[in-house]
Each structure stands twice: as structure tokens, then as C-alpha cells.
């Protein structure tokens, strides 16, 4: 079973343009990552707060709604965040331009 889990992350990271994949658990600690440790910790810490804020935005506007996906497009890269109650999945990619 653990193999399958490893597999999913590995497959994700083999997509075209993907720089790294970080899986953060409910406490904000990165539990699986393909990037360096300190970068992963940075991503985890910063994005946890942002995800909470985004979730508040969505739910305050309509409590029956919920945040499913968050994409941050910057000049150099794109960060895709899939939040959940127990984990946060972060994928960083370099868009081909």
C-alpha cells in the first residue's frame, strides 16, 4: 500500500513542468516532499496560513461553499494547492512559455 502512495507522488512529479510536490499534514509539517527540506518547510508554513485565509473568504461569503483548489500564478512559477481538513497538497510548476 505504501508503494501506491509513493507511486502517486512520483507520477505527479513526472508531469511536464512540475518542479516539486509537497504533502503537508494537518499540523503544518511537510510529511512528503520532492524538494529540499528548508524550502518545503517554508512552503508549508506560508501556504498553511494563506489556505486558511482563502478558506475563510470562501466560507464567509457562503457557508455552504468550500475551498477546493487554489492556484497562485507568479512571474516565475505557479503554485497549486489542494487543501483538505487533514492535509494540504502543494504542487509547484514552471509554466512553459
Residues of this chain that bind other proteins (CB under 8 A): 1-2, 4-5, 8-9, 11-12, 15-18, 23, 25-27, 29, 31-32, 56, 59-60, 63-64, 68-69, 71, 80, 82-87, 89, 91, 93, 95-96
Nearer to other proteins by Cβ, of 36 and 84: the residue is 84
Q: Which long-range contacts (CB under 8 A, 24 or more apart) does 42-50 make?
A: 43/79, 43/90, 43/92, 44/88, 44/90, 47/79, 47/81, 47/88, 47/90, 48/24, 48/88, 50/81
Q: How far is the CB of 38 from other proteins (least distance, A)?
A: 19
Amino acid at each position: 500500500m505504501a508503494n501506491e502512495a509513493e507511486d502517486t507522488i512520483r507520477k505527479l512529479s513526472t508531469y511536464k513542468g512540475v518542479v516539486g510536490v509537497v504533502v503537508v499534514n494537518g499540523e503544518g509539517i511537510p510529511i512528503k516532499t520532492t524538494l529540499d527540506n528548508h524550502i518545503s518547510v517554508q512552503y508549508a508554513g506560508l501556504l498553511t496560513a494563506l489556505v486558511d485565509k482563502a478558506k475563510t473568504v470562501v466560507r464567509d461569503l457562503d457557508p455552504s461553499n468550500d475551498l477546493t483548489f487554489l492556484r497562485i500564478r507568479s512571474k516565475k512559477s505557479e503554485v497549486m494547492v489542494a487543501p483538505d481538513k487533514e492535509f494540504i497538497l502543494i504542487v509547484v510548476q514552471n509554466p512553459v512559455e
